[in-house]
Structure formats: C-alpha cells, structure tokens
Chains A and B, each alone.
Chain A
Amino acid sequence: MIFSFAFREIRRSKQKLLISFLSLVIGIASVFTVMQLINQTRNYVLENSQNLLSGDIQLKYSEPITLENLPYLQELQDTGNSIAFFHETTSMVRTDKEGSKSILSQLKVVSDQYPLYGELKTQSKNEYQPMSDQEILVDQGVIDRLGLDRGEALKIGETWFTIKDIITQEPDRSLSPLSFGDRVMMSQEAFEKAKLQKIGSRISYRISIKLKDIKDVESVVQNIKQQTEGKRIQISDYRTGPSNVERLFNTLQKFFLSITVLVLFMVITATRTNLTYYILSKSHTIAIWKCLGMKESQAFGIFSVILAFLGLISGVVGVLFGLIAIHSTLPRIQEYLGINIFLSISPVSIISMITFSIFLAFLSALVPLFRMNLIKPLQILRKQFLQRKIQKYFKQELALSFLSFFGLFIILWIFTGSLYASTTAIGIIFISFMLFYFIVSRIFWLLKKWKNSFTHFSIRSVISFISKPGSVSTIAVSSLCFAFTVIFVVQFIQTNIFQNLNLNTDAKAPQLILLDIQKNQVTEIQNLLPEAVLNGIIRAKISTIDHTQYNDSNYPNRRDTWMLNFRNTLIESEKIIEGKFWDKNMTTNQVSVAQEQADILGLTLGSEIVFNVQEIRLSFTVTSIRTIDTSGNNPFFYFIVTPHTVTEAPQNYFSFLENIKDVSKLQNELAEKFPNISTIKGKQIVNSLQEITNTLSSTVLMITNSALLVGVFMLIGLLMMNAFEKTHDFNLMKIIGATKYFLWKLYLLEILFYLILSFVLAYCLSAIIAAILNIWIFDFSIFYWSFDAWYIFIFASLIVLCVGVNIMRNIFSKSPIEYLQSS
C-alpha cells in the first residue's frame, strides 16, 4: 500500500520534486568529483612515492657533491646499496635543419644507474639502456618543434648529439608545474662534452639512494644528516617525501572540501526549502488520508519512500555526472602534474555516494515531515493551518541550517577521517555564513526601519514582504550572496594574477630573456646587441645579520640563495627612501636593500650583513633602503652591492631584450654563437603562467559554479514557496484594481531586489577579500576590478526570472474571486 501510494505521489509531483532532484544531483556530482579526483591523485602519489623520488632516499642541493665529499655515500655503495646521480638545468638545443632552429629545453643529466625505481619508457619499446656520450633521449615536443626524428643530430652546448629515442614515460618527472621547455636526457659524460657548466649556471643536483634493506632508511638518513650538516642539503625519503606531497593534497583537499561543504550546505537548504514547499502543498492530501483512517506511521512511510526514491535517483544521476566530470578533468590534471593515473573507481565508493544522497534527502526533509505529522488533519481541512502556521515554518529555517551544519560535520568526518579537516572546513563555512546572515539581516532591519521614507509603493511593498517576521528571504539571500562571493573572489584573484603579471598582454612581457651570460661574453653581447642592459649577479647565501647567525627557517620567505646585483646607478623603477646610494663618505662595502626585505629581515641603515659567496665571507653595511615598482618589466633585486667590492666574485649576467624584429632568428643566432646562454621567449613564460592560472582557477570555478547553481535553485525554491502567498496577495490586488502590469512590476522588482542585493553585497565583499589577498598573499600593489562576475549575475538572473515568469503565469491562470473562495 505504502509503495503504491508513494509512486502515485511521485508521478503526480514530478515538477514539485524537480528542484530538489537537481539540487541533490549537483551536490552529489560535486562531492563525488572532488573526492575521487583528490583521492585518486593522492593515492597515485603515495603508491608511487619511490618512483617519484627515484629511490628510497633523495638528496637535493645546489652545488656539486661527489662521493669523495661524502665518504658515507661511498661506504653505502660499497656495501651493496645503489646510488644514482642526476642533475637538471635549462639549455638551448639547436638543429641545422630548416634554417637552424633552436629551442629551450629542460636538460636532465643521469648516471648509468638511473632510474633506481620505476621504468623509463621510450617510443621504440626497447628496454632502456644507458646512453653513450654521443646519445641523448628527448621528449616528443623536441621532435615536433624542431622537425626531427630518431637518429638525427641535435646540438647542445658545443657538441652535436644523436637522438637515440623518444621518452614516453619518466618515472620521477617533477611535480613542479612551472617548466620552460621539453625534456632532453643525457649521460654525465655527454654533459661534460657539451661544456655547458659555467660560472653561475643554474643547476639542481640530486642523488638517489636505493637501500639494500629498506629498514635501514632511518639510520641512513640520520647518518647523511650528520655528514651534511651545514651544507644545506635537502634530504627526503620515501616516507617524508610523500608526506610533503600528502600535505599538499591535504591542503588542496581542505580547500576543495570547504567549497564542497558550501555546496552541500546550500544543497541541503535548497532541498529543504523545496521539500518544505512540497510537503506543504501535500498537507491537504495528508489531512484527507488521516481523516480516512491512515495512521501517522503510514503517512510517514509514504513520504519516506518518496524521499528514498528521490535520493536514489539523484544519487545515481549525480554519480553519472560526477564520472563525466572526472573523465573530462583527469587528463588536464595528469598533464598538469605530469603523471599517469589509472582511474579506478570502486563500486563501494559509488554505492556509498548513492547512500549518501539518500541520507541527504532525508536530512533535508525529515524535520518538515515530522512537523507535518504533528498537525491535526481538521486544522488543515478547515484551512487554519496554511495561513497561520506557514510563518512558523520560516522561523525555524535558521535553526535547521545549524542542524545541517552539524549533519555535514558528521558526514565530513566520516568521509575524510580527519577531525581537524572537517572541523576547519565546517568552521570556515559556518563563520562565513553567519557573517553573511548577520549582514543581510541587518540590511533588512535597516530597510524595514526606513521603509516609510521610500515614496514608491512598489519598493515599500517589497520591503514589507522581505522583512515580514519569519520570512525565509534572509537565509536565501545570505546563501546566494555567499555563493556569489566565493565565485567572485576566485575571479578577482584570476584577474589580478593576469593583470599584475601582465599575462593578458604579450606586449608587456620582454621579448627575450638572456640567462647565464659569462663575464668574458659581456663585450661580445654588447657589440651584438648595443641596446641590451646587462645585469650582473652573484649567487650568495646570508651568513649573519648584525652578528647573528642567519637561519632561513625563522623567516616567512625561506630562501637559501640570494642574487646580489652590483651597479652604481638606480633604474627608473627604484626609489631611495632612506640613506644614500652610494654613501661616498663610507669606505666599507655597502649594500642597498629593498624595503620589503629590510622589513622581513629587520635591516635598518647601518645594519651589518655578511654574505657567503662560495665559502668566502663578504661583509656589507646597509647604506640605503629602496622601494621597487614591480608593475613594469624592469628586473628587481632585493640586494644591490657596491660593484668594486665583488669584482673577483664568481658572477654572470642576464638581460631583457625588447624591440626585436625577429625573435626566433636572434634566438638561433645566439644559440649558435653562445651555446651556454639560455634564451627564453617572454611569451613562453606568459603562456606557462597563463596555463597554470587557468588550470587552477577553472578547477576551482567548476566547483564554485555548482555552489552558485544550487544558490539559484534555492532562490527558485524561495520563489515557489512565496508563490503560495503571492497567488493570494496578487489575486487580491487584482480585485481591488491592480493591473497585470503593476503586479508584474511588483514581482520582478522583488526578484531583482534579491538578486541585486546578493550581487552588490557579494561583489563588494569579494573585492575586499581579493584586495586583502592581493596584498597578503600575492604581494601585488595594484588591485584590478573584475567584470566577469557580471556575466554570472546576468546568467543567474535570467534563470530566476524565467522561473518567476512561470510562477506569475500560474498566478494569473485562475479567476481571482474563484481563487480566493477556493483558498
């Protein structure tokens, strides 16, 4: 009996249940997608931790280390443990085919033992064999860009090499997203033949160790730490390395969970609003059932079946949408992280998600259902309920929202298994939502207070409605405003990254950047490019500040190596705010410090700072503090030192080039004459940064947009609930002389009021939040307004207006007198 009643109700109430269905589908699809993507990626990283480290232990350092420097490593190798050396740098690679083309590449120099874990796969499918000193392996990108094939020649540095094979899988490819160029792999001997290693070359050195007995990892790490103390070598092992990655994923998970919780909160509110409306509309039917002898438990059972069915169908459809989203997003993540994830979604996770959907449907509807059960049938049939009790429903909405938060907290805890993560996510959402609720309710309170000062009746009428005691308008506007804010903040950040880093305009980026110019090449470069400004740099570490040992872990921007610039003139983007550049009365070495770093490091005029330049200590006195305008393309340096004090220090130069007629031609010419100099096209950097920003923001927007959609559903739910009262009020107004035009105006004004209030509040708040993030996190001095938000507002408004139009059509479908008599 219960099932036949329930399915008959479902068939007749398809339209009323549609919004709840759509809200649940979006919620389930969002949760499923986020959970699966994060878990799949994290599991991949954890399962392949040794592959990613290319060993059980990895040492990372900025200066070359040999086994002679670390006798303990030699000892390890002698006792049967495997050790592989490799290092990475950038280099120009060139072909003489098709008019001598050249491109920048990421060079990886490996020893014969490489890789210790995982498999280096190549296109020929042959098992990887160590390369000779004349052979190299390359990425498909090199082949495509230079029009080459296997067996053909490629010049790196001063030597021609033969392309042995094409790399299809590199087990320890870095997770670093910012790399300019395709992979070229060669042996240590080949690297020496290329003669690329010059003074100041930017090379990242690594040693991977595969232990004979994995249980020794702790003692081996401790021994290495003892031997390398003071050498600033980063040591990771397969347990700590992945835990760093895990930390990254936990942070990501927390961030996405916060947004997902927002979506879920809104899903529950939207579903509850709609199901409350649905159950209210069914109150008459329930009353008749009860009068005819149906027990409360039977009525409850019928609606439980409806809810379970709603949750089941929404869960299935939500999971399907989630699977589509995962399949379309995963390739981008794989490409972004350079990993190859085998997607495996267990039936258990699908079943648990569908169960979760049913749970959500019950969580959203149980309370209105229980309340409905408590109402006596005769009250409903004598119409004593709807007009009076409906307000009590609204009054309890906020209390129910708190209940939803608690329910979500439990759900999150079960899902993540982390009390901290779930508390943080819920805490952020709860505090933010309460802030929005407070602001919106205060605005409504003010409007009510000033209502009579508005001369226009329509405005007063709208204010009367929204500020009516117990109205659900406050919670709906707060939630919509919240959803808008999250989306707008993401868009503001995206706009500001693009604008501040000049990612939108190629014209602002330097055409060509020249790196690793040697001191003996300066004259030749200046002859070739008379307009090029060469910036000399020395790599140095800070030893002491005012006689106190410098420890980078005590400072927010942990930095091991600093670049010291040396010159006698300021550039146009720099301005001295304290002291002199340079103080001619001083005989000691002088340094000019950027204000930002002076604040961080606690440097003032007269402070003494000692730099370590390849183990030679150089002491400087701070004689000036500068501000730097970073909005242009000028290079900026935190430290500028007096040139005469560093003439003997190992140094190299870099330069930005503008106004070049043919960038590729110049790039080829430079690669041919100066093989060690890396040339990077400004556009290449712009494209890479654009890609990263786009990937991150589009992933975030994908989730936040679902929050917006649910917010719109919630507003639609509010309008549908209001339709109860609106039908009455508008029919009455029509009877006493209001034209349809007048009523349309009144209704549209009300809808627009909700939308505009949410939009304006969200736009202002998100601008404030983004401006704060601009300063605190991104360190951008200029704030740019984003107008992309307007499109979202227009889109949301159109959906809501369409629903509003439909509601109005229904309101006008009956004769007013007949409606009032029948209601």
Chain B
Amino acid sequence: MLQLNNICKNFKDSSRNIEVLKDVNISIHTAETVAIVGPSGSGKSTLLSIMAGLDTPSSGEVIIDDEHLEQRSEIELSDIRNTKIGFVFQNFELIESYTALENVSLPLEIRGENATKKAKKLLKDVGLSDRMNHYPNELSGGEKQRVAIARALIHDPKILFADEPTGNLDAETSETVLNVLFTQVKKSQTTLVVITHDMDIAKRMQTAYRLENKKLKQVKI
C-alpha cells in the first residue's frame, strides 16, 4: 500500500545543509495499522509530509497504491491526496466557518461531488447525528476529533494518517475517539499510520517504527 525506498531529505539553512531523513525505508500493507514514534525534532512531520505527497524527498521513492509520488505534478499530488489519503490531526483542524456536516463533506465537495448523504451517515456512525449543524466552536474536543475522523474517511481513502490524534484530549475522551477511529478503519479496511508519543496507542497497532537519528527502525512495543 505504502512504500518508502531510500528516502533522504535535506534542508538548506543559510550556509548549512541539514539532513533530516537518511535512507528511510518502510513498507506498509493494505489494512495494516502502523505507529511511528520518535522524539521531538526527529523529523516525524517531515516524514508525514513526504508520505502524504505534501513535500518531495531529496532522493528516494514514495509509492502509494502502486503510484510513484516523487515525480508527480502539484495537481496530480492533490488528486492523490483527495482520493487515496485521509488525515486526522492533534488540533482537529476543522474549518471554523463550516458546520460539522460541511466539514465532513469537504473532501468530496472539493472534487465536485455532493456528499451530504454520505457525510450524514458517517456523522451518525461516529455518534454525532445530533450535532451535524453545529459549528466547531460549539463542539467539545472529543466531538471535534470525531468530526475530523469522519472527514478523513468520507472519500474512502486507502491510507489514513493520524498525527497525535489524542494529543489534546483527556484519557476518557481519548479512549472514545480511538475506539471510533479503530472501528471505522477496520470497517473500511483502511491502512492506518499513527504518529504518536503515546506508547499505549502504539501498542494497539500491528506494527511500530521509531524514527531516530534520521532513520526509521521497526520496534517491538
């Protein structure tokens, strides 16, 4: 499903050349759940950007669903993100001026499809059927993250990236949100990549990797 081959990423900072990733390799299968852990500043965000086609590697290959991302145009990458990739963020990242229903519909609306019916069903699945027409500032943290999960799944992505999905939630709400996430992912047979500090979440994944010293290593948790 997702394959990274010899990924290197360098940044130029005035006169210095900073190497963030070096020969990163990973292969993730369909419906597999993967955790990527690592200390702050280890390059997790850069890796996520490269895996999602939001940034290009300095060298190496990124393959999602048999499609190479590294040579794709901006428009083609947008299209891949819009059809094959879903995202869930630590800060929920909902659009404040849209209702919950509109936020969930957004990925399909971008490609010009009417998504209201499907969005309503997904919101019902995540237990928010009574909050559809509420704006994000009228929702609790857990509710916002459930809206974000529904939005990440509405376009039936092949792979879902979750960046610290419970980082801003209390323990009880985190558990609810994770249950929703795993249930939905399992139901839709979506590959899940979670970037987290929380070892308890990592333990719930089938595979775990640690990003350290610019390299990605599989670990047993």
Contact = CB atoms under 8 A, between A and B. Distances in A.
A468 B110 contact: no
Contact of B78 (A732, A737, A815): A737
Contacts of A584: none
Contacts of B110: 457, 733, 736-738, 742
B95 A817 contact: no
A818 interface: yes
Contact of B89 (A391, A468, A739, A820): A820
A737 B82 contact: yes
A387 interface: yes
B82 A388 contact: no
Interface stretch (B30-38, B101-109, B118-126, B180-188): B101-109
B7 to A, nearest CB: 16
Contacts of A735: 52, 54, 81, 87
Contacts of B96: 387, 391, 468, 725, 729
Contacts, number: 93
A821 interface: yes
Contacts of A387: 96, 137
Q: Is the interface of A mostly helix, strand, loop or mixed?
A: helix
A526 interface: no
A280 to B, nearest CB: 15
Contacts of B98: 461, 464
Interface string B71-92: 0001100111111011101110
Contacts of A733: 95, 106, 110
Contacts of A464: 97-99, 102
Interface in A771-823: 815-818, 820-821, 823
A508 interface: no
B12 to A, nearest CB: 15
Interface in B106-155: 106-107, 109-112, 114, 135, 137, 151, 155
B5 interface: no
A469 B138 CA distance: 12
Contacts of A817: 45, 48-49, 52, 54-55, 163
A815 B97 contact: no
A741 B75 contact: yes
A737 B83 contact: yes
A740 interface: yes
Nearest to A463: B97
Interface string A446-470: 0000000001010011001100110
A734 interface: yes
A821 B195 CA distance: 13
Contacts of B102: 460, 464
Nearest to B106: A736
B93 interface: yes
A823 B96 CA distance: 15
Interface string A741-758: 110000000000000000
Interface string B44-61: 010011001011000000
Contact of A737 (B93, B95, B111): B111
Contact of A818 (B45, B79, B83, B90): B45
Given A457-B110, A735-B81, A737-B111, A391 B137 contact: yes
Given A736-B82, A817-B49, A821-B163, 15 more contacts: A457-B110, A465-B97, A468-B96, A471-B97, A728-B95, A733-B110, A734-B54, A736-B86, A736-B151, A737-B81, A737-B107, A737-B110, A738-B82, A817-B54, A821-B45
Interface pairs A-B: 7 shortest CB-CB: A737-B82, A737-B81, A468-B97, A739-B78, A457-B109, A465-B97, A817-B49
Interface of B: 45, 48-49, 52, 54-55, 74-75, 78-83, 85-87, 89-91, 93, 95-99, 102, 106-107, 109-112, 114, 135, 137, 151, 155, 163
22 contacts: A457-B112, A460-B109, A468-B96, A468-B97, A725-B97, A729-B96, A734-B54, A735-B81, A735-B87, A736-B82, A736-B87, A737-B81, A737-B85, A737-B110, A739-B74, A740-B74, A815-B49, A816-B54, A817-B163, A818-B45, A820-B89, A821-B45
